[in-house]
Structure formats: C-alpha cells, structure tokens
Amino acid sequence: MVRFLSRRIVSMILAIFVVITLTFFLMNLVPGGPFNTEKLSPKAAAILENKYGLNQPLLKQYTDYLGDLLRGDLGVSIKKVGYTVNELIAEKFPVSASVGGIAICIAVILGIPAGVIAAMKRNTVIDRIIMFICTLGVSVPSFIVATLLLYVFGIKLAILPTMRLNSAASYIMPAVALSLSPLCYITRLTRSSMMEAMEQDYIKTAQAKGLSRLTVIGKHALRNSVIPVITYLGPLTAAILTGGFVVENIFSIPGLGKYFVESISNRDYPMIMGTTIFFALLLLVLNFIVDLLYKVVDPRIKY
C-alpha cells in the first residue's frame, strides 16, 4: 500500500509538472498577446507588459511562475483587474460544482439501474427502447440538449428559469443538459458489463445454490459490473465539476467553465495557467480516488 501511494504521488507530481511546462510554452508560442487586441499605444502596452512581467525572457517568466506556484500563488488575472486567479477559482468553482454535482448524481442514480434493466431484459422491447434513447443521448451534444430545454421549458412553457442560479428550479435544466450524455454512457457501460458478468461461472454457481435473483444481481453481478463505471466517473467528475463550458454560457451561469473560455479568448495568461493546473490536479486526484475505490468494490483487487 505504501509503495502504491508513493508511486502515485510521484507520478501525479510529474504529470502536473509536464502539464504546467507544456501549457506555459505552448500558450506563449501563439502569436500575439493579452494587449494586442486592445486599442493601446505602444508605450501603454509596454508599461502593461512590464507590470505583468511579460517583457522578461520566456525562460525567466517560466522560472518565476514556478517559484510563485510553489508558494501557492497562481498569479493575478490580467483582464479581471483587482482579482487573483486563486480568488476567481475559489469563487467560481463552487458554482460549477453545484450544477455538476447534481448532474453526476442524476447520471449515476438513473444510469446504473437503467443498464441493469436493459441487461436483464436483453433483446426485448424494453432493452431496445433503452438502447435507442442512450444512442441518441450519447450522440446529441450537450449544447443542443440545453438549447432544446431552454426553448421548450423556459420560453414556450415558461415553467423553469432560463438564467442564473437564483432558485432550486434554476438548477434543473443545466443539470439535465450536463447529465444526459454521461447518463446514457453509464447505462451502456453497465448493460455490457452486466451481460458479461451474467455469463460467468460464479454467477451460475450462485444461481445453482438457489440464491434469489435479486441477490445474484445485486451482490454478485452488479458488484463486478460497476468497476468500468467507476473508471469512467474519474475523468467525468473532473470535467463536469469544472464546468460545462457551453452549457454555462447558454444559461448565463457565472461558473469556472465560462471564465476558462473567456481567459483563452482574452489571452489572460495567468487565468489560463491557473484553470488548466486546477483541472489537471482535480483530474489526477479523482483518478487516484477511483483507484482506491476499486479495492472497496472488489476486495480481490490488489494495489
């Protein structure tokens, strides 16, 4: 266990270092800069570049950034004057996470039972209906789902709020839009895993012992079938919690995803670096948690 933890921590540190290095240099290789799009005189642009240290050699900018990062300082946003990147992430991430958390719950709570039902009713009408819906749900992008929900329930029927997160009802449409594709994918994963598990010898042995169908499915088949779903939940959770970029824009949600998109278009270097590092770190931590959950689900798995 100690060796496993040591290896994972070292690999996570190396991965973060690679992400930081690649992002920093690739970001600076793109022609232009944060002040090229603004109507500034060359003298004013030079003053601003000096203020943010952009006139320094690239290698010095990189080493200075690493030094600040080791102290936990992600820098100051160039476009959001008066805000540090740490403050913006701390303020905006909970907004994205609140919607994303609901979306993940919807996807898991509905996806796993739907997959089990489809597997148990294999090649029946119920199975075909579920698979048709899932194929459609995986194929349709989230921004189209969000637009349809907005038009039908927000404009035509006018029963749900269309902007911001001012009430419990305002979470429904963005959470559903974010959850549909993961829900359908989890359903398909669970179905295929369940169908494979039900053909294994240990399931046939459990059935021969006279165990009830519910016990066979819940205690034996589902426990092994859920492992691929847990694997998928790692990157999915990181992606959803940091914000569905397009969905947040459609519903005017001031989350982290919206600021990440704006930072790229505005060439806000500290914000680009900060959000990228935060997303990478969150992804690595969640994948690490997923690896730990394998042992909880199936004690036979060894680290």
pLDDT digits (tens, 9 = 90+) for 271-295: 889 988 988 888 888 888 877 777 7
What does residue 76 show for φ and ψ, rounded to 5 degrees? -110, 135
**Region of residue 53 (phi > 0: left; psi between -120 and 50: alpha; otherwise: beta):** left
pLDDT digits (tens, 9 = 90+) for 21-47: 999 998 888 777 677 655 666 777 777
What are the structural domain ranges in the chain? 92-265
Q: Is CATH 1.10.3720.10 the right assignment for the domain spanning 92-265?
A: yes
Choice between 157 and 219, residue whose per-residue pLDDT is larger: 157
H helices of 140-226, where? 142-149, 172-197, 201-208, 213-215, 222-225
pLDDT digits (tens, 9 = 90+) for 63-112: 988 998 888 888 888 877 778 888 888 888 888 888 888 998 999 999 98
What is the spatial distance between Cα 187 and Cα 116, in angstroms, rounded to a whole number?
A: 8
